[in-house]
Amino acid sequence: MSNQRKSGNSAAATAAALIGQAVPLHQAGRLPEAEALYRQAIATQPRQPDALHLLGMIACQTGRFAEAADLIGQAVAAKRDVPDYHANLAYALQALGRSVEAERAARNALRLRRPFPEAANTLGNALNAQGKAAEAAEAYRAALRARPDYAEAEGNLGAVLRSLGRSAEAEPLLRHALAANPAMTEARAALGLALLDLGHADEGEATLRAVLARRPDHAAAALALAGSQQRRGRDAEPAYRRYLTLQPTDAEGWNAHGLALQAADRIGPAADAFARAVRLAPDMAEAMTNLGTIRRLQGQAAVSAELQRRALDLRPGYAAAHTNLALALQDLGDDAGAEREFTNALDADPAQALARFNRAILRLRQGRLADGWEDYTVRFESGRLRPRRPFNIPEWEGSELAGRRLLLWAEQGLGDEFMFGAILPEALSRFPDAIVECEPRLVPLFQRSFPGTTVRAPTRRPDDADCHLPFGSLPRLLWRSAPVPPPPAGWLKPDPERVAAWRSRLDALGPGLAVGIAWTSQRITTERRQSYTQLEEWAPLLRLPGIHAVSLQYDGREEEIAAVEERFGRPIHRWPDLDQIADLEGTAALMANLDLAITIASSAGEMAAALGVPVWRLGRRDWTQLGTAVRPWFPTMRCIHPDGEPGIGGAIPKAVQMLTRLSAGDL
């Protein structure tokens, strides 16, 4: 035997001995000692494949994946027929994000050994990273066929099925995998997402919070949690802020954050979020149109219109941008341009209910009733009003009833019930067998107002009607052309005994006019703020001699009222035993004794007008005037419009002048 061969055999033997010493240390977790021996083995025999492979595995275990890929790659080059080498090379490459190479190495491992669950799982990871989710699912299934208790593969399969929109299949797999290995963060995140998909929002959000408790840097969980909270109308801003701390360059995240801020009526921060999204992604049409919407809410209609046009340059035919451009043009006084853009939105997307709803409002404001009411049929789908009530009977389209019984039901809030309720006398004269369902607090008033009619609170599944119609659809059938038939004044009937009791209480105030006032709303947003006032703006009216101001502000406002009373030395009458929210019978009896009510756009004014009380409504012209100078719903209501300024406070001096003449007997 030559000396060279003896030397080679000796080196191999020494290397093997060193590896033999290192393996137990490696298995015991004594990695530095094992690594030193593997390196000695490689120094003794430079291409020793087992030493290279095992040293690469220590590099994997300690997060040094580039070094691991290099070492295991050398082992593969030295000895290509060992499946474990290829499988572990695939694992290291996948950890480095080199998914195409990882796929190739995993397939090599599976060619050499089948079944090989670990290699199949890594193959699934590599395929999934390349967007080949369906192929990845098959790889994970292969891993599970080979090893049914393989929790990691089961969790990965559940996650990829969820990404494929198969959350119902994914959920039990993910739960089973987590029962076996609760430490799998990605599987838990996937379970949270699947639960959200399946409508289990509370559990889904709790699951995502558990992920974030363990991994505060889990951006996907933070984003999903924020999105769920936003969809549920909850404060999503903290979750978006957390996500954007982790992913500050995600333009879509900033856009979503802006939408959450806008929903919370935080208009300034929303504008900043949308503007940042536009800076990060100048070609993002969604952020551009959203920023334009905010600028309109901030009173910058011309800027809004320009942003909407830029959004349309980025995405021609973008229905939302056409709709938002129409709203900006409407604010600029260009009704023709606005209608054209609403129609463009509908041409681009016939399902764009918001465009059709807003076109309805425009047409009704112009007095084009037939077209307007036709468009108004999409109000429930527009997102601007409460959703439609579900029914087990069909909606009536206006054909002959032919013996069928009709259920008429109130929609939206109290103000709308009184406004559309003005058509009930005509409707019930045509359909005397109809049932009326209304707000429970209104049932006694409506029963008294429509004797002989079945009046009740909303029912879940009515079994005594054959078809239904919401109040807001009555004008489409009965008010299709102007002028509309005037409803009877004072169709709403209060309780005579309670009216008499309140007459005594108001008489006790002394001589003068009893004038009810309502100056603001319980729900004020940036978009609605210009329609309301502050009580102190009413000081010129409150100071008028011979006027007894009576608060119709149903939400109390005690501190505001007390401050104004102290400042101006005039009382604003209210009675602690009358809850104007809960006791509508008592409120109606009080209102029936007023000489006049002066209100902003408020359910209080609508109720007073329905009772036949003279009402002066302060506000800008709106669609409910149906193209006229009055509000045809209420014969006793008069509209007082402000001049010039954005808000409606300018209408108050006009009301003061009119009230002065009324007190003097000139009106």
Q: What is the pLDDT of residues 282-310, one digit of tens each?
A: 999 999 999 999 999 999 999 999 999 99
Q: Report the sign of the C-alpha dihedral through residues 492, 498, 501, 505, in that order.
A: negative
Name residue, tokens 């699934």.
124
**CATH code of the domain occupying 45-231:** 1.25.40.10
Residue 138: per-residue pLDDT: 97
Give the integer Cα–Cα distance in Å for 220 and 211. 10
- Mean pLDDT rounded to a whole number for the chain: 93
Report the run of H or E that residue 406 belongs to, with start and end.
strand 406-409
Give the integer Cα–Cα distance in Å for 53 and 476. 79
| Residue 1 pLDDT exceeds 50 | no
pLDDT-derived band of residue 200, with 50, 70 and 90 as boundaries? very high
Can you give the pTM of this predicted structure?
0.80
Topology match between the domains 406-478 and 497-663: yes
Q: At what angle do helices 117-129 and 99-112 cross, to 10 degrees?
A: 160
Sheet holding 406-409, edge to edge: 454-456, 435-437, 406-409, 467-470
Residue 90 near residue 109, CB atoms below 8 Å? yes
Residue 8: per-residue pLDDT: 59
Give the integer Cα–Cα distance in Å for 428 and 423. 9
Give the integer Cα–Cα distance in Å for 167 and 193. 8
SS3 assignment, position 404: coil
What's the one-letter identity of residue 426? E
Give the integer Cα–Cα distance in Å for 569 and 218. 60
Average pLDDT of the residues in 19-28: 94
> Domain locations in the chain?
45-231, 283-381, 406-478, 497-663
| Residue 20 pLDDT exceeds 90 | yes
Architecture category of domain 406-478 in CATH: 3-Layer(aba) Sandwich (3.40)
Q: Which long-range contacts (CB under 8 A, 24 or more apart) does 198-205 make?
A: 198/167, 198/168, 198/171, 201/228, 201/232, 204/228, 205/229
Q: HSE-up of 563 (CA within 13 Å, CB side)? A: 9
More confident residue, 511 or 233: 511
Architecture category of domain 283-381 in CATH: Alpha Horseshoe (1.25)
| Residue 187 pLDDT exceeds 90 | yes
Q: CB neighbours (10 Å) of residue 289?
A: 26
Residue 666: per-residue pLDDT: 59
pLDDT-derived band of residue 520, with 50, 70 and 90 as boundaries? confident
Q: Which long-range contacts (CB under 8 A, 24 or more apart) does 658-666 make?
A: 658/616, 659/513, 659/515, 659/541, 659/544, 659/547, 659/596, 659/598, 660/544, 662/513, 662/596, 663/513, 663/544, 663/545, 663/546, 663/547
Average pLDDT of the residues in 558-578: 92
CATH tag for 497-663 (out of 3.40.50.2000, 3.40.50.1970, 2.115.10.20, 3.90.1720.10): 3.40.50.2000
pLDDT (tens digit, 9 = 90+) per residue, 316-342?
Answer: 999 999 999 999 999 999 999 999 999
